[in-house]
């Protein structure tokens, strides 16, 4: 396929820009109106398929009305915030729709959090109560949450909570809702709600530290749906696959909002299943799915079958798909469109690959058409170099820098706005000021990237994941890519560990293999030295039984870094690079000595 011209790519991006500007800060049309509009014009069309049941747009709207009335009786009112802790199931939407109808912000609680982190999440959003599914109730059984705020029950026949915990609930909102009227609630209950009002809080999915609550307005949520529906060219005949956690932005914003705009159906699954993925696609005739992190690799690691191309899935969208996996995924499964992108839940800028260019997350054909820029970044000193005038320096093709986005601050314009977090301090930390001129403000993404002479971008690393060794910058993602075709590799996590008496960090790899595969230390060594510069070849390899990941398939490097290469801190087999043996050998003090490295000392 011939490469697209800059003008052809820009024409698509221009249409996306128009869609992004359709919703404005002061508009009175909100998510509640979108939900009721869907029910009015597509009430008999299936919105959700779940576990053998289906729910139409009309039914979802009616159930939302019932939850709205129950929440009102429990004391919520327009302007309040309410925590929502539910796994992927229809009741998640019913509860959220209900809150939207009375102007209450839903705070999307991570269903894996408990203790201090959970209390922190509820505190920073000012939640008055929390709607908690039985499947999540054990998370609230901790000293930090004792008598902290009312918990309202949503029964879960699949995962009922232990009887001993039922006393944590002060009300059963699900049961109350069943008895309520199903008609649309009075719009006066959400009077004053406008486009820039907060629809949901979505918590950042970082690998360490306490969560931040990103503010997501009705305008932003609706705009995301407009843009993604236009981009994917989806409509009422499409079926979306929702298996990523709905408490994060990918599934809730990009997928759900686009489905609502298209009036498409959604197949909702509690969590991703490698073994059931293609079964679901064929059963429900799914046409669009999301991916993140390692999901495409998981699917490729399954045994090839004659039915691999016998399916309806034509479009996938997401982030984290390397060029090598991209090609193999397309060749094997015959996917027509891959929309790899860059952005974040709270980011005011984005880039999307609309050209099916393998390995790239998108293109900037003309800089004057985007608010995104790439500026030089000094990894070693964690700073942005500035020129003689004190301004940041734009990267040229091939240079690695940080992606930033100009913050549009206009009362009537929503596109380009940085809505920030519930914490003013956290918001300010993400803003770079006086970047190119006095008084300007730019969103700091924390993502390192480079672009080529045609304007196509490739992801390099997250700031903090790149590390220095032998006075060189080592990109964890580029090291990982060198092993993308290692036989039986399921997940590879690359990170830097401190080494006594050495500057920087030495490379270490946590390897997860298919259960039927054995580690080949000579082959791993061969691939490393042939494909990587000497300074980037890992010194240590740890064989892990399973990947340590967040709920959105992001690897937890920080915990691995803390454990380092001390075999006393974990039970996994540990190997050390041995250049004389041209292989990785089992850990020993002698092996360390041959490498010129002292035993690991934990950082204080």
DSSP secondary structure letters along 481-496: HHTTT-TTEEEEEEEE
- How high is the pLDDT of residue 555? 52
Kindly report which listed range (233-237, 363-367, 409-413, 567-571) carries the lowest average pLDDT score. Answer: 567-571
Tokens of 331: 């060749």
Q: For residue 545, give the nearest of 575, 515, 518, 586 by alpha carbon.
A: 515
Indicate the burial class of 434 (C-beta count within 10 angstroms; 0-12, 13-18, 19 or more): middle
- How many residues are recorded in the chain? 604
Tokens of 288: 């669009």
Q: What is the mean pLDDT of residues 520-534?
A: 92
pLDDT over 90 at 558, yes or no: no
pLDDT over 60 at 506, yes or no: yes
Residues of the chain above pLDDT 90, percent: 79
Q: CA distances (Å), 563 to each of 283, 558, 570, 594, in order? A: 44, 9, 7, 22
Dihedrals phi, psi of 430, to nearest 5 degrees: -95, 5
Mean per-residue pLDDT of the chain: 93
Indicate the burial class of 218 (C-beta count within 10 angstroms; 0-12, 13-18, 19 or more): buried
Q: For residue 298, give the nearest of 453, 492, 126, 143 by alpha carbon.
A: 492
- How high is the pLDDT of residue 548? 57
Indicate the burial class of 80 (C-beta count within 10 angstroms; 0-12, 13-18, 19 or more): middle
- How high is the pLDDT of residue 261? 98
- How high is the pLDDT of residue 277? 97
Give residues with Cβ within 8 angstroms of 188, minimum separation 6. Answer: none
CA distance 77 to 411: 26
| Top-confidence residue, 568 or 468 | 568
- What digits encode the pLDDT tens for the residues 563-578? 999 999 889 999 999 9
CA distance 110 to 212: 12
* CA angle (262, 267, 269) in 5-degree steps: 140
pLDDT over 50 at 315, yes or no: yes
* Sign of the torsion formed by the C-alpha atoms of 330, 16, 432 and 400: positive
Tokens of 390: 């004190």
CA distance 82 to 302: 41
Q: Are 130 and 170 in contact (CB under 8 A)?
A: no
**Residue ranges in 126-217 assigned as alpha helix (H):** 173-178
CA distance 330 to 356: 10
Bridge partner residues of 46 (DSSP): 56
CA distance 115 to 120: 9
Q: For residue 563, give the nearest of 577, 544, 586 by alpha carbon.
A: 544
- Confidence bin at 206 (pLDDT 50/70/90): very low
* CA angle (337, 296, 535) in 5-degree steps: 115
CA distance 7 to 510: 43
What is the distance between the terminal CA atoms of the chain, rounded to a whole angstrom? Answer: 54
Could you give all domains of the chain from N- to C-terminal order, each with its CATH number?
Answer: 467-595 (3.30.300.30)
* CA angle (549, 552, 554) in 5-degree steps: 45
As a three-state string, the secondary structure of 268-300 is ECCCCCCCCHHHHHHHHCCCEEEEECCHHHHHH
Dihedrals phi, psi of 597, to nearest 5 degrees: -125, 140
Q: What is the mean pLDDT of residues 456-469?
A: 84
Indicate whether this model's pTM tops 0.75: yes
- What digits encode the pLDDT tens for the residues 15-54? 999 999 999 999 999 999 999 999 999 999 999 999 999 9
- Confidence bin at 207 (pLDDT 50/70/90): very low
Tokens of 576: 């050390």
For the chain, state the CA radius of gyration: 25
- What digits encode the pLDDT tens for the residues 411-434? 999 999 999 999 999 999 999 999
- What digits encode the pLDDT tens for the residues 249-294? 999 999 999 999 999 999 999 999 999 999 999 999 999 999 986 7
pLDDT over 80 at 210, yes or no: no
CA distance 548 to 341: 24
Give residues with Cβ within 8 angstroms of 305, minimum separation 6. Answer: none
Q: What is the mean pLDDT of residues 92-118?
A: 94
Q: What is the mean pLDDT of residues 316-338?
A: 91
* Sign of the torsion formed by the C-alpha atoms of 419, 227, 332 and 278: positive
Task: Map residue 226 onto helix, strand or coil.
Answer: helix
pLDDT over 50 at 208, yes or no: no
């Amino acid at each position: 396929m011939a490469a697209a011209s800059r003008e052809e790519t820009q024409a698509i991006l221009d249409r996306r820009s128009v869609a992004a500007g359709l919703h404005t800060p002061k508009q009175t049309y909100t998510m509640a109106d979108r939900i009721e509009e869907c029910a009015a014009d597509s009430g008999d069309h299936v919105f959700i398929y779940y576990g053998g049941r289906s729910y139409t747009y009309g039914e979802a709207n009616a159930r939302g009305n019932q939850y709205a009335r129950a929440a009102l009786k429990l004391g919520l009112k327009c302007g309040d915030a309410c925590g929502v802790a539910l796994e992927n199931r229809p009741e998640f939407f019913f509860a959220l729709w209900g809150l939207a109808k009375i102007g209450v912000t839903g705070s999307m609680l991570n269903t894996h959090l408990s203790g201090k982190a959970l209390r922190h999440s509820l505190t920073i959003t000012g939640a008055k109560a929390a709607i908690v599914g039985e499947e999540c109730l054990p998370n609230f059984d901790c000293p930090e949450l004792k008598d902290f705020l009312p918990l309202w029950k949503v029964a879960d026949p699949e995962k009922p909570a232990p009887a001993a915990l039922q006393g944590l609930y002060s009300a059963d909102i699900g049961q109350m809702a069943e008895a309520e009227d199903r008609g649309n609630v009075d719009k006066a209950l959400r009077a004053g709600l406008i486009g820039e009002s907060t629809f949901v809080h979505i918590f950042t999915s970082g690998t360490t530290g306490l969560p931040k609550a990103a503010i997501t307005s009705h305008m932003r949520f609706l705009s995301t749906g407009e843009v993604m529906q236009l981009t994917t060219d989806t409509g009422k005949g499409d079926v979306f696959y929702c298996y990523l956690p709905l408490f994060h932005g990918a599934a809730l914003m990009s997928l759900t909002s686009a489905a609502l705009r298209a009036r498409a159906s959604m197949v909702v699954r509690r969590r991703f299943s490698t073994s059931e993925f293609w079964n679901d696609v064929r059963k429900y005739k799914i046409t669009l799915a999301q991916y993140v992190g390692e999901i495409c690799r998981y699917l490729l690691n399954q045994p090839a079958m004659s039915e691999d191309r016998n399916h309806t899935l034509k479009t996938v969208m997401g982030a984290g798909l390397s060029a090598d996996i991209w090609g193999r995924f397309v060749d094997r499964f015959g996917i027509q469109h891959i929309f790899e992108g860059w952005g974040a839940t709270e980011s005011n800028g984005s880039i999307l690959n609309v050209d099916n260019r393998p390995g790239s997350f998108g293109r900037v054909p003309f800089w004057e058409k985007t608010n995104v820029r790439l500026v030089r970044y000094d990894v070693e000193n964690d700073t942005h170099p500035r020129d003689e005038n004190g301004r940041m320096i734009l990267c040229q093709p091939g240079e690695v820098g940080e992606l930033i986005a100009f913050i549009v601050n206009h009362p009537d314009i929503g596109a380009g706005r940085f809505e920030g977090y519930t914490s003013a301090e956290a918001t300010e930390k993400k803003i770079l000021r006086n970047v190119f001129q006095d008084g300007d403000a730019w969103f700091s993404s924390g993502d390192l990237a480079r672009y080529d002479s045609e304007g196509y971008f490739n992801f390099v690393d997250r700031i903090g994941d790149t590390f220095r060794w032998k006075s060189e910058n080592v990109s964890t993602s580029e090291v990982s890519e060198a092993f993308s075709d290692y036989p039986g590799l399921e997940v590879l996590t690359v990170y830097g560990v401190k080494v006594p008496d050495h500057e920087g960090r030495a490379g270490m790899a946590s390897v997860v293999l298919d259960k039927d595969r054995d580690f080949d230390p000579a082959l791993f060594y061969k691939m490393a030295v042939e494909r990587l510069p000497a300074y980037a070849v890992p010194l240590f390899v740890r064989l892990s039984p399973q990947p340590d990941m967040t709920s959105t398939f992001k690897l937890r490097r920080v915990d691995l870094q803390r454990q380092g290469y001390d075999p006393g801190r974990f039970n996994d087999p540990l190997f050390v690079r041995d250049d004389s043996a041209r292989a990785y050998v089992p850990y020993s003090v002698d092996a360390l000595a041959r490498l010129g490295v002292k035993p690991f000392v934990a950082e204080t």
